[in-house]
Amino acid sequence: MKGKTLPVTFDLAIGTGTARTSFKVDRTKYDIKYGSGSFFDNLGDKAINDEFELTVSLVY
């Protein structure tokens, strides 16, 4: 994101012809701080979560 690359590790569930995983990413580690309650005060209900979850399903 934003031209920044960081390693990510996750567990992968492998089935017959499928692979699945789910993991969380902290956007502030990629210098995306817009609306972050960790960096800005008084955002109230306008704050955006620093972490988001990715769920990936692969069929091969």
**pLDDT computed for residue 3 by the predictor:** 87
Q: Is 22 helix (H, G, I), strand (E, B) or coil?
A: strand
More confident residue, 2 or 60: 60
Length of the chain: 60
Mean pLDDT calculated for residue range 19-34: 93
Asked if pLDDT for residue 21 goes beyond 90, the answer is: yes
Mapped to the 3 state alphabet, what secondary structure does the chain carry?
A: CCCCCCCCCCCCEEECCEEEEEEEEEHHHHCCCCCECCCCCCCHHHCECCEEEEEEEEEC
Q: Which structure tokens are listed for 32?
A: 């995306």
Mean pLDDT of the chain: 92
Alpha-carbon distance 33 to 24, whole Å?
16
